[in-house]
Amino acid sequence: MSHQLVIVLDFGGQYNQLIARRVRECGVYCEVKSYATPLSKLKAMAPIGFIFTGGPNSVYGEGAPQVDPELFRLGIPVLGICYGCQLMAHMLGGRVVPAQSDTAREYGKTKTYYDTSCKLFCGLLEEGMSWMSHGDYMEQVPEGFVLAAHTDACPNAAIADEDRGFYGVQYHPEVNHSENGVAMIHNFLYRVCGAAGDWGMGDYKKTAIRQIREKVGAGRVLLALSGGVDSSVCAALLAEAIGDQLTCVFVDHGLMRKNEGDEVEAAFAKWTMNFVRVDAEIRFLLKLAGHSEPEHKRKIIGEEFIRVFEEEAKKIGRVDFLAQGTIYPDVIESGAGDAAVIKSHHNVGGLPDYVDFKEIIEPLRLLFKDEVRQLGRELGLPEYLVSRQPFPGPGLAIRVIGDLTKEKLDILREADAVYREELAAAGLSQSIDQYFAVLTNTRSVGVMGDGRTYDYTLALRAVTSSDFMTADWARIPYNVLDKISTRIVNEVPGINRIVYDITSKPPATIEWE
């Protein structure tokens, strides 16, 4: 990609991907690399700036991660955040020591005062709240640096050597808690690094289409289409680039939500690609019959998916390239530990070895999830597909507790559809990060129409989360829950009781199985 580049060097910080997303939101392309990446490789990428992340270490500790000192002699601007700030100070002749008092340590929201003559804070308010998280203290800043921000407890909340383009902040401007934090990053990119702002999904789409055409030539491409956001956007991008040279195999295992299979097929009707929808519901249900343990269900579904895909791929004949919807968080380098760790996606999830292809095409591997969604909109995919919520690979199989039958799946599909309809009608669907229904294997006595019933209990789950590592249960208004419950019990045969899960993660998980 012929875009200006900023490199985020990761020192094991928990916000490394968030920093990269903030840079991209400012219209500048960005990649995350391990601090251990050789300097020759970094130079070859021709970045216009570096950003050092935070990290759990102390810069003076034995074996603490560092960069090649030559990096500071490249003439390329550097922004150090938290550990990155202290590392820069430490390596350039300053002194960083353990904080000797609670006043020198700072955690959480802290009122901070900024020198707005500094390029980093130009045009911003002179004071605001920043998100601090440091237990070490810069006792002495390096020669050439000035103090650019302070707090009531810390005189060097930010430091700057404007002649060399070196800036350090002891807080985290990338998090929402830091007021004007993104504006500070924007200032670094544009006022210090001279960014042109040449990163956007419209340009990315054009460039990606051109590169796909150049790589594929007259070849043929095969994609396993799950119906999720990533594989769907990947399919649309490939279809736009190479049309009927693409074959998408959509394995409909009968475990999707109501109408989803038809929606996926309809979404790709406008492209002249080869769309193969395999109706494998009966086959999957036969394999799953009698199995109630969640991990058994997952393994059966994963293995059977591969078998079905294998059979369909054999029918296609020659395949030159295999495509995947791998996205950037799946391949991002991590600076945690002694060496970079890269999550490999090159085994294609266990897809059959017999497929004779030149290489794997991963046209989304540079994008974050929100960028993938935006690219989908640029490509004209419908919003119901682009904004689709996270959905587990095994589908509804793990939202029906216990053994699976078509009857149970149909009950759950109808109830889940009502739930989603009512949350959308109440204007809550965009503020809740994930919501779904679970058909429990508990049956209870009820009374309907003066008669006794003995039907299933349905559980409703809804959570808010920023990263899905932790989650809190969503506070859906009682009147909305009441309407959902009334509709489901009246409209969906087989359910006579509704419960709402008010457990956060941890101790629970988001899914039930």
pLDDT of amino acid 294:
87
Reading across the β-sheet that carries 106-114, which strands appear in turn? Answer: 29-34, 5-10, 49-52, 78-81, 166-169, 158-161, 146-151, 106-114, 127-134
Picking from 17, 362, 367, the residue whose alpha carbon sits closest to that of residue 200 is: 367
Query: How far is Cα 414 from Cα 456, in angstroms, rounded to an integer?
Result: 14
Q: CB neighbours of 44 closer than 8 A, spacing ≥ 6?
A: none
Assigned token pair, 252: 């409909």
Assigned token pair, 441: 């294997």
- Cβ atoms of residues 159 and 111 within 8 Å: no
Query: How far is Cα 349 from Cα 99, in angstroms, rounded to an integer?
Result: 47
CB burial of residue 144 (10 Å; 0-12, 13-18, 19+): middle
Q: How far is CA 164 from CA 16, 21, 268, 288, 512, in A?
A: 24, 25, 52, 64, 54
Beta-sheet pairing, 158-161 with 146-151: antiparallel
- Cβ atoms of residues 132 and 107 within 8 Å: yes
pLDDT of amino acid 108:
61
- Cβ atoms of residues 50 and 87 within 8 Å: no
How many CB atoms sit inside 10 A of residue 270's CB? 11
pLDDT of amino acid 484:
97
Instruction: Please give the positions annotated as active site.
Output: 82, 172, 174
pLDDT of amino acid 103:
47
Q: Residue 77 — left, alpha, or beta (φ > 0 → left; ψ -120 to 50 → alpha)?
A: beta
Query: How far is Cα 78 from Cα 50, in angstroms, rounded to an integer?
Result: 5
**Residues β-bridged to residue 46:** none
pLDDT of amino acid 84:
94
SS3 54: coil
- Radius of gyration in angstroms for the set of CA atoms belonging to the chain, rounded to a whole number: 26
Which domains, and CATH codes, for the chain?
5-192 (3.40.50.880), 201-386 (3.40.50.620), 405-500 (3.30.300.10)
- Cβ atoms of residues 356 and 342 within 8 Å: no
Beta-sheet pairing, 146-151 with 166-169: unpaired
Backbone φ and ψ for 493, nearest 5 degrees, come out as -60, 140
- Report H helices in 116-268: 181-187, 201-216, 229-242, 260-267
Tell me, what DSSP letter sits at residue 109?
Answer: E
Picking from 223, 305, 241, 229, the residue whose alpha carbon sits closest to that of residue 267 is: 229
pLDDT tens-digit map of 423-482:
999 999 888 989 999 999 999 898 877 678 889 999 999 999 865 667 899 999 999 999
How many CB atoms sit inside 10 A of residue 102's CB? 9
Picking from 433, 430, 453, 432, the residue whose alpha carbon sits closest to that of residue 443 is: 453
Picking from 463, 461, 464, 445, the residue whose alpha carbon sits closest to that of residue 453 is: 445
Q: How far is CA 379 from CA 41, 229, 382, 391, in A?
A: 34, 13, 9, 22
pLDDT of amino acid 377:
95
Question: For every residue of 428-479, which 3-state class applies, written as one string?
Answer: CCCCCCEEEEEEEEEEEEEEECCEEEEEEEEEEEEEECCCCCCEEECCCCHH
Report the interhelical angle of 406-425 vs 478-491 (nearest 10°): 140
Name the percent of the chain in helix, strand, coil, to the closest 5: 35, 25, 40
What are the 10-residue block averages of pLDDT along the chain, 513 residues in total? 87 84 92 93 96 89 92 97 93 83 58 94 92 74 92 87 95 86 96 93 88 93 88 94 94 91 90 93 93 89 86 84 82 42 35 59 86 92 86 88 94 97 94 94 84 90 79 95 96 95 91 89
Q: CB neighbours of 275 closer than 8 A, spacing ≥ 6?
A: 248, 250, 265, 268
Picking from 164, 130, 122, the residue whose alpha carbon sits closest to that of residue 145 is: 164
SS3 30: strand
